[in-house]
Structures are given as C-alpha cells and as structure tokens.
Amino acid sequence: MSTASTASTLSPSGFDFVRALVHRESAIVLAPGKEYLVEARLSPLARSRGLRDVQALVEAVRSSPDVESTQLIVEALTTNETSWFRDGDPFTGMVQVVLPSLLAARTPAEPLRIWSAACSSGQEPYTIAMLLKDALPGAGERVRISASDISREMVERTRGGRFSQMEVNRGLPAPLLVRHLTRAGNDWQVNPDLRRMVTAFECNLVGTLPRTGPFDVVFLRNVLIYFDIPTKRSILARVRALMRPDGWLFLGAAESTLGVDDAWERVPVGRSSAYRPTRPNRGA
C-alpha cells in the first residue's frame, strides 16, 4: 500500500526567507527545525493560489512581494491555540483576588478596563466577560474589555462571537454555556450583552499598541514565549506604560518577567500569580 510523501518541499533558503519575513513583520522567532510547521501552515495558502507546493509559494512571494501575501503568511504562522478558561487558575484569581482589589481602589463611577492581548478567536476575552458579568453587578456598563490579535481573521471571529460545538466543548462549563451563549444552527453565539463588553481590533505587539487604556488588567498569556529577549523586554515596557500604576498583568505559566524586565514584581493570586508595576509609567 502506497502512502503520500510527507517530505518537506521547502528548501533551506526558502525556510530562511520565511523565517526572516515573519521575524521582520511580527518579531516571532521560527527556530531551525520548524520546517514542518511552515510546511503545514503554508500548504493551504499555496493550494488556494493554485501553486504546486510551499516552495512555489515562497518563490512567488520572494520574486513579487506584496502586502497581502506577507500578511497571510504571518497570520498562517501565528499560533492560534486557545480554549475557554485556559489554565484555569488565573481566571479564578482574577475574580477572587484582583477584582476585589480593584473595586476597593476605584470609585463606582470608574470603568474597569481590561486588555486581552493575542486573544486568538476570542475565548479568553469572553471568558473574562462572563466571569465579571456574573461576579459584578452592572458589569455590562462598567467593564470594558479590549481584545486584540495580529490576525485579521481572528479579530473578525472575536467580533462575531460565534463558536462551533467542538470549540465550546473545550473548557466551557455547561451552566455558563447555557447562560451566556445561544444556539445558532450547529454553532453557539455569545449573547449580545457579553459582545457589547468586548471591543476587538488588530494589533501587532511589536507595532503600535492600543490607546484605549489605561488598563487595570492585562492578559498577555502564552505569547512572549515566541519572542527573543530584547523583544520581550520592549513589549513588557510598553505594556507597562499603558497600565494603571496599581494594575495587574497575567502571563502564561511558562512565562515570567524575571531576567527580562525588572520593573515588575511577582505576586501570588490564589493558586496562580500575576505581575504588578514597580516603576512609574513613562508612556508607550
């Protein structure tokens, strides 16, 4: 029985071209050995353009570069792994520790601004929205959640707030599902009151950051791992400049400011941890 070859069509110079393009546009580092990832992610794009393989796509873009092709390649190589309540503990800490701290430090008239950076298809910002909706009376009027991603497709998906059955099965408890989402054919639609709390927009973390702060809480989870140390340091400094002096930063479990940017302190938040600025903001 014969099987299709899974060998990469990408030449070493082709891989180097893609690595350089992605790093230039997004600062994401594709280490040697990631040829298989590039092949898998770019094959659908090559097929959509009627090209024989990924190498042909690279040759076409290299000989005649354009903004659309560059953006599509970067988006294809952006990791969009996400789920509801991903890693769990940070969201529990948000409700049990961070929210009471913020409410004690703010007047009832002050809005609470939260930024979900690298939000992928929207599960993180909507997780935050439903938790705060249930925990804080009047959250629909008081809480403002900014959700950003480098991918235009992911931003549109977040705005739409529509998820497949498979997607809602990944971490969304049944009581929250039926309380905050409504059946829409074979999919589930986030209810309008939650969608009004979330504003989604495109944002490249190495480019211009949003001006909708200052933020009380920033979720910057599972994204710094894709950058080199200087880029991590730059992002953390510019994010800090958009936060309230007593704000809270959540990173991924494998991420830390330690050894990168010493202007933060790590504090326990229930069974998780968060980071708080130790220096005045200086502007982004």
Looking at residue 2, what is its pLDDT?
37
pLDDT at 57 over 60: yes
Lowest mean pLDDT across 40-54, 153-167, 245-259? 40-54
Banded pLDDT at 273 (limits 50, 70, 90): very high
Bridge-partner residues for 266, per DSSP?
A: 275
Which pTM does this prediction carry? 0.82
Over residues 97-119, the mean pLDDT reads: 96
pLDDT score of 31: 83
Select from 73, 139, 84, 140 the least CA-distant residue to 116.
84
9 against 136, higher pLDDT = 136
Task: Determine the average pLDDT of the residues in 97-104.
Answer: 96
What integer pLDDT is reported at residue 7 of this predicted model?
A: 60
Residue 4 pLDDT > 70:
no
234, containing H or E segment: helix 229-240
Q: Quick check: helix, strand or coil at residue 201? A: strand
DSSP symbols for 138-193: THHHHEEEEEEES-HHHHHHHHHTEEEHHHHTTT--HHHHHHHEEEETTEEEE-HH
Q: What is the pLDDT of residue 3?
A: 39
- Over residues 14-18, the mean pLDDT reads 92
Q: Is the pLDDT of residue 6 over 80?
A: no
DSSP 118: S
- Pairwise CA distance, residues 101 & 98, whole Å: 5
Strands 181-184 and 272-277: unpaired
Q: How are beta strands 162-164 and 187-190 bridged, if at all?
A: antiparallel
Q: Is 227 exposed, middle or buried (0-12, 13-18, 19+ CB in 10 A)?
A: buried
Domains, the chain, ordered by start: 12-76 (1.10.155.10), 89-277 (3.40.50.150)
pLDDT digits (tens, 9 = 90+) for 203-240: 999 888 888 889 999 999 999 988 999 999 999 999 99
Average pLDDT over the chain, rounded to whole? 90
Q: Which residues have CB under 8 Å from 172's CB, separation 6+?
A: 84, 85, 123, 181
Strands 272-277 and 198-202: unpaired
Q: How far apart are CA 260 and CA 267, in angstroms?
A: 17
Q: Is 250 left (phi over 0), alpha (psi -120 to 50) or beta?
A: beta
**Both tokens assigned to 132:** 């705060």
